[in-house]
Amino acid sequence: MPVANGAIAARLMADFAEQAALVLERRGKGGFDLRTSSAEPAEIVRGEDFLDWAQPLNLAPAAPIWVGAPQETWMAAAEQAATPGDEASREEWVRFVSQTLSALAELLAGRLGTAIYAGSGNESAAGDGDVLYRVEIGLPTGPVSFFVGLPSALLQTLADFLVQEKSEQKVSAASMDLLLDVELPLSVSFGRTFLPVRDILRLATGSVVELNRHVNDYVDVIVNNCVIARGEVVVIEGNYGIRVHEIVSRRERAMLQHMNRSAPLQTDLKASA
């Protein structure tokens, strides 16, 4: 198995154990300690009531994740089943495994930013080439173990997905480099006000229009109709300039744009400088 796939298998197994512990806790089984370790096929002792369960993720529908448990494990983990008996305990164990795999899929979906879900499962043995792990559950009555098989096809799919994601990030960075030399118009707003049409028509040389900003207030620095900063007006070798005092946060920019889009229609005309 490639080194990268080995690292992915270890991370995926840690995620599985974490979600299994959370499912057990939600199902009222207490806060059990789950420990994982690598396993070999020879360690799997199949008794008469050894329970196999295989369930795929949609990333690799033909390569299901396998979970195998001896009777003592699925009986102990399902001891609080509503209906006593072996059959009820088997069904309780299968529900636990399915819920764990669904939670694992949801975790991976959030991490990778794509739709991932668990498919339908069935009682099937581990596939050839599965990476095997032993999971030990610490119970008050003593530890019990079950086994998990991670299919190589799923690990390779995850590895390919991560490689593609890194490649897309590099492409995005290269595209951003191309945009860095693009020139955008920058303007400064001293303030604004609304005037009735009659006052607009009365404007003449020498007229004074009062804006909604105090002389000591910062002016807005605007790029692409979006306020990105605020500062004070300065004079640089006979030209006006702006000394930036604050950068507008992304959240505030979005709020300002929303306010501008949702502002009610004004019957007066707007004047700005």
What is the rounded average pLDDT of the residues 144-170? 80
Has residue 87 got a pLDDT over 70? Answer: yes
Structural domain spans, the chain: 3-171, 186-272
Please report the beta strands in the chain, taking only residues with DSSP state E, as ranges in sequence order.
33-38, 51-55, 65-69, 131-139, 142-150, 186-189, 192-195, 219-223, 226-236, 239-247, 269-272
| Nearest 10 degrees: Cα torsion 196, 199, 205, 207 | -90
Over the stretch 201-211, which tens digit does the pLDDT of each residue have? Answer: 999 998 998 88
- Non-local (6+) Cβ contacts of 22 within 8 A are 103
Angle between helices 86-112 and 3-26 (to 10 degrees): 120
What is the rounded average pLDDT of the residues 101-121? 90
As a whole number of angstroms, the distance between CA 253 and CA 220 comes to 12
Class of domain 3-171: alpha beta
Write down the pLDDT at residue 53: 94
Question: 186-272: what fold?
Answer: Surface presentation of antigens (SPOA) (2.30.330)
As a whole number of angstroms, the distance between CA 191 and CA 217 comes to 10
End-to-end Cα spacing for the chain:
67
Give the β-pairing of 226-236 and 219-223: antiparallel
φ and ψ at 271, to 5 degrees?
Answer: -125, 135
Over the stretch 218-269, which tens digit does the pLDDT of each residue have? Answer: 999 998 788 889 999 999 988 999 999 999 887 777 776 666 655 544 444 4
- Non-local (6+) Cβ contacts of 182 within 8 A are none
- Non-local (6+) Cβ contacts of 229 within 8 A are 220, 221, 244, 246, 247, 248
- Non-local (6+) Cβ contacts of 242 within 8 A are 188, 219, 221, 231, 232, 233, 234
What is the rounded average pLDDT of the residues 113-118? 88
Structure tokens at 105: 């899929």
* CA distances, 197 to each of 3, 192, 200, 204, 251 (Å): 74, 16, 5, 14, 35
